[in-house]
Amino acid sequence: MHPFRYLITAIVVFLAFSCDFNENIDEKHQVYNFDLKSLIEQQAKVLDQTKVSIKKHVEYDNKKEDVSIKEVDWSKELDIFNDADINRPIFKESYQKTEKKEGDYNVIKFNSQNDKNDVKWLSISKDNNGKIRKLMFEISTKNSLFQVSKKGELLFDDKEILENYSLEGTNQIVFLGDKYFAVNAKVIQP
């Protein structure tokens, strides 16, 4: 009879830890504002599978270059946009969400309610079918050695697949001055 008690105890302990584990998973995947990280991951997977390439126009410190890239690691290419992620528990109450209709789009905007937040605002434009067509944001970071200001934009087709993206801004670094940067990229279908 003792082995039966041990089996029951083991099952109860297992179930107790399993429930706690599932709650932790749910907490990690909870959406507080807008889950940009998941969108970026999903886009990287789709673009990797379709084997698309990109054409970029890049500017940095008065130097300009046009680049075509055939083999792209989309996770790395789009990682910079994760800087605009506002879906963290610390930001749960930090952004005011507004929704309004602008032309053919429903626009959801998250405005920072705290000057210390790097992401000042994030805007998502969806079509009437609920598909994301445009995502824009502004980031500003400042400390005693540098200040970085950047704006980004992701444009999607009617299937919610990335077709263009851009990022531009300035780095103001003590002793080095202002450095302007801009990247405009177009996704090229095979």
Are 66 and 7 within one domain? no
Q: Residue 142: which residues within 8 A CB-CB, separation 6 or more?
A: 148
The partner residues of 164 in beta bridges, in order of sequence, read 155, 186
Is the same domain home to 60 and 122? yes
Q: Which of 85-89, 95-99, 132-136, 181-185 has the lowest mean pLDDT?
A: 85-89
Q: Are residues 125 and 81 in the same domain?
A: yes
**Do residue 1 and residue 84 come from a single domain?**
no
* Same domain membership, residue 41 and residue 77: yes
Whether the pLDDT of residue 42 is over 70: the answer is: yes
Co-location of 59 and 115 in the same domain = yes
For residue 7, pLDDT beyond 80: no
Q: Is the pLDDT of residue 33 over 90?
A: no
Q: Are residues 60 and 143 in the same domain?
A: yes
Q: Which of 5-14, 21-30, 33-42 has the highest mean pLDDT?
A: 33-42
Regarding whether 131 and 41 lie in a shared domain, the answer is yes
Q: What burial class does residue 81 get, using C-beta atoms within 10 Å of its C-beta: 0-12 exposed, 13-18 middle, 19+ buried?
A: buried
pLDDT at 19: 41
- Provide the domain count of the chain: 2
The reply to whether 10 and 39 lie within a common domain is: no
15 and 44 co-located in one domain: no
Which domain does 22 fall in, by range?
Answer: 1-30
Domain identity same for 12 and 41: no
Q: Tell me the per-residue pLDDT of 62-81, one tens digit each, with 9 for 90 and over.
A: 899 999 999 999 999 999 99
* 59 Cβ contact partners less than 8 Å away, ≥ 6 residues apart: 65, 180, 181, 182, 183
124-169 residue pLDDT tens:
999 999 999 999 999 999 888 889 999 999 999 999 999 999 999 9
pLDDT at residue 176 tops 80: yes
- Between 128 and 176, where is the model more confident? 128
**DSSP of 142-167:** E-SSEEEEEEEEEEE-TTS-EEEEEE
Are residue 128 and residue 50 in the same domain, yes or no?
A: yes
Query: Average model confidence (pLDDT) for the chain?
Result: 85
